[in-house]
Amino acid sequence: MKETLTAGLQRLEIQLPEERVDAIVRFGALVLEKNKVMNLTAITDPVQAAELHLLDSLSLLKVLPPAGKSLLDLGTGAGFPGVPLKLAEPTIRLTLLDSLQKRMRWLETEALPELGVEARFLAGRAEDFAREHREKFDLVTSRAVARLDLLCELCLPFVHRGGYFLAMKGAQAEEELHEAAKAIRLLGGSYERTEEFEIGGAVHSVIVIHKTGKTPEQYPRSWARMKQKPL
Ligand code: SAH
């Protein structure tokens, strides 16, 4: 894993001290190890994990410098992209959110203590946390959680004015962005740009949305309502 990650970081021109790269690789190994007994990821090959989990997460370092920022990773699953980012940039104030209790418990009680990493854990649905943690974060990240129009309703309420939502998408980014244009506007966001990275032989896109306004109080609605009637 380390060789693949190091080569990938060089290719993306991301410089990290070796001990941080080691810690990130260690986290990748912990995920693969636990994946044998708990469903964490479909990826079981270390080379693929290095590219598609670790390097893909770290590509966000090229999009916005997260040093010193409060960052919410919404739908973090086994910790992507939030945990590799925190290991790369320890000054990030990291919050991980996911509705799957088992994954969150593993991160909170096993993986992160083993790496000596501090984070806050919100175990539950994003819709339910959005009131208490409204407009509290500098950055919100999300990968492989929902289509962009729905994802904006889940994520943008958490971003404070002036902050950013970074949505990690694949090749279909352009189409999702088109579908989400109205949602972004209604939720107080403003599309800024899309950054593309070639990772594991495919194009990975990061959609950058700036929070320029306020999210109206009625959002997010219930998940059922969102799905039934996307903005
Ligand atoms: N971001 C990780 C995990 C993707 S799988 C990665 O890229 O590897 C999607 C995750 O989002 C699952 O763990 C699921 O539990 C979580 N999720 C989906 N909708 C959610 C919601 N509304 N609130 C909280 N978590 C959600």
Span 59-76, average pLDDT: 98
SS3 31: helix
Span 165-186, average pLDDT: 96
C-alpha to C-alpha distances, 114 to 60, 79, 109, nearest whole angstrom: 24, 14, 9
**171 has a pLDDT exceeding 90:** no
Closest atom of ligand 1 relative to the 103 alpha carbon: 13
Ligand 1: list residues with CB < 6 Å.
75-78, 80, 97-100, 103, 125-127, 143-145, 154, 223
What b-and-e string marks burial along 141-154, b requiring 16 or more CB atoms within 10 Å of the CB?
bbbebbbbbbbbbb
Number of domains in the chain: 1
d(CA 43, CA 132): 34
Q: How far apart are the first and last CA of the chain?
A: 41
d(CA 195, CA 8): 17
Angle value at C-alpha 139, between 230 and 184, nearest 5 degrees: 25
Closest atom of ligand 1 relative to the 145 alpha carbon: 9
Tens digits of residue pLDDT in 99-135: 999 999 999 999 999 999 999 999 999 999 999 999 9
The amino acid that residue 9 corresponds to is L
Percent helix, strand and coil across the chain, each rounded to 5? 45, 25, 35
* DSSP secondary structure letter of residue 77: T
For a ligand 1 pocket test, name from 133, 145, 168 the mutation site with the most ligand atoms within 8 angstroms of its C-beta: 145
CATH number at residue 199: 3.40.50.150
d(CA 172, CA 122): 29
Q: For residue 165, what are its two tokens?
A: 């939502």
Range of the domain at 119: 2-228
Q: What is the structure's pLDDT at 53?
A: 98
d(CA 9, CA 7): 6
The amino acid that residue 229 corresponds to is K
Question: 82: closest CA among 63, 60, 64, 101?
Answer: 60
**60 has a pLDDT exceeding 90:** yes
CB atoms within 10 A of CB 135: 16
Predicted model pTM: 0.98
Residue 161 and residue 126 in contact, taking contact as beta carbons nearer than 8 Å: no
For a ligand 1 pocket test, name from 99, 104, 204 the mutation site with the most ligand atoms within 8 angstroms of its C-beta: 99
Q: What is the structure's pLDDT at 179?
A: 96
